[in-house]
């Protein structure tokens, strides 16, 4: 009886491992399929914002900026799903660099956040000194963290201010 239970447990574990592998493969394939057209939307909106295809009105610029920023936000969410599957598969690699411009990352994340709050009475406030040094970080993950924090703030703030601050702390 114990041998039969052990055999059933091994079979169940093998089936669960296969289901997990298939889920990870599905997520990787799906995120790839979603990113391809989304990158096209982001690219075309960027081209239009730069005026390469001709001039645009202020209203069109506002709408295109919202499309572009929301496309970037959606791309970030899709990349997060892919990262979760990589973490589960123990295949997530970090690429650290000593030359990350934290101020630029914050300003970029704030630009994306503007598209999320444009219909709400919310202000964005940033306190960034001009002399912020370059930092050692994994810029892609740090950008994801900033976008996640700011998009959560935008989602759960009905009115008021969203503020972000960076400063050098000794020690």
Determine how many CB atoms are found less than 10 A away from the CB of residue 147: 24
> Contact 153/114 with Cβ under 8 angstroms?
no
- As a whole number, the mean pLDDT across the chain is 87
pLDDT of residue 29: 82
pLDDT of residue 5: 93
pLDDT band at 148 (very low <50, low <70, confident <90, very high): confident
pLDDT of residue 161: 95
pLDDT at residue 92 tops 90: no
The predicted-structure confidence for 1-10, as pLDDT tens digits, reads as follows: 899 999 999 9
> Contact 118/154 with Cβ under 8 angstroms?
no
Q: How confident is the model over 40-61, as a mean pLDDT?
A: 90
CA distance 44 to 99: 30
> Contact 49/60 with Cβ under 8 angstroms?
no
Nearest to 127 by CA among 106, 100, 151: 106
pLDDT at residue 162 tops 80: yes
pLDDT of residue 90: 74
The pTM score is 0.59
Helix (H) or strand (E) holding 109: helix 102-117
The predicted-structure confidence for 60-72, as pLDDT tens digits, reads as follows: 988 898 888 888 8
- Residues 6 or more apart from 31 whose CB is under 8 A from it? 78, 79, 81, 82, 85
pLDDT of residue 28: 78
């Amino acid at each position: 009886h114990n041998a039969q239970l052990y055999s059933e447990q091994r079979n169940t574990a093998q089936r669960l491992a296969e289901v997990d592998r298939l889920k990870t493969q599905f997520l990787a394939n799906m995120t790839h399929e979603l990113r391809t057209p989304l990158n096209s939307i982001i690219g075309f909106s960027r081209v239009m914002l730069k005026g390469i295809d001709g001039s645009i009105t202020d209203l069109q610029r506002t709408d295109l900026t919202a499309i572009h920023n929301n496309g970037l936000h959606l791309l970030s969410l899709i990349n997060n799903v892919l990262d979760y599957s990589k973490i589960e598969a123990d295949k997530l690699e970090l690429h650290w660099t000593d030359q990350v411009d934290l101020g630029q990352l914050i300003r970029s994340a704030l630009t994306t956040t503007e598209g999320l709050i444009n219909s709400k009475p919310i202000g964005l406030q940033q306190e960034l000194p001009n002399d912020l040094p370059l930092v050692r970080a994994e810029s892609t993950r740090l950008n994801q963290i900033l976008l996640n924090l700011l998009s959560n703030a935008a989602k759960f703030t009905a009115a008021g201010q969203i503020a972000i601050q960076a400063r050098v702390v000794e020690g």
